[in-house]
Amino acid sequence: MDFRDFYCFRLGAIARKMTRYYNNKLAPYGITIVQSWVLLFLSNHDGSSLKEIAAAVQLDSPVVTGLIDRLVKEDLVVREEDPEDRRSLKISLTPRGREVAEKVHPAVVEYNQRIRSIIAENDVHAFERALEALEREL
């Protein structure tokens, strides 16, 4: 049996390789790819709630809480009470967090363009449709 015959295996292997690639590229900034998604989201949606961040990066709230904890320790984000609802917290970038987000954004865009160019040689629209169908299925 060749595991490469199973698309779920191949997609998982590719995802792990991409995560490794990004984590190596982002290591100089002291963040992981998942942390970069949070920073990049906040760069356009500063003051978001944990729930909003979790929905945007498609992770469970407890996972995002752990990510935010680490980003707070690294002085990349701050938690602030929501003035309209004291039970809720708003997450915002620190000046250092904004700087890191601005530095990592080009690396993420560049790699995404590389992926798109590989796919475009075949059919980017068919690939997009397949990804959307997989997301709906799961």
Report if residue 21 sits inside a domain.
no
Is 95 within a domain? yes
What's the domain count of the chain? Answer: 1
Residue 48 lies in a domain: yes
Residue-number span of the structural domain to which 115 is assigned = 34-137
Would you state the structure tokens that stand for residue 3, as one six-digit string?
A: 């595991």
CATH of the domain at 105: 1.10.10.10
In a domain, 19, yes or no: no
Q: Is 4 a member of any domain?
A: no
pLDDT tens per residue, range 5-29? 788 888 888 889 989 988 998 999 9
Q: What is the mean pLDDT of residues 62-84?
A: 93
Whether residue 25 is contained in a domain is answered as no
Q: Mean pLDDT score of the chain, rounded to an integer?
A: 89
Strands 77-82 and 85-93: antiparallel
Say if 64 falls within a structural domain: yes
Partner residues linked to 77 by β-bridges: 93
Sequence-ordered list of residues with C-beta below 8 angstroms from that of 134, at least 6 positions apart, any chain: none
Q: Report pTM.
A: 0.83
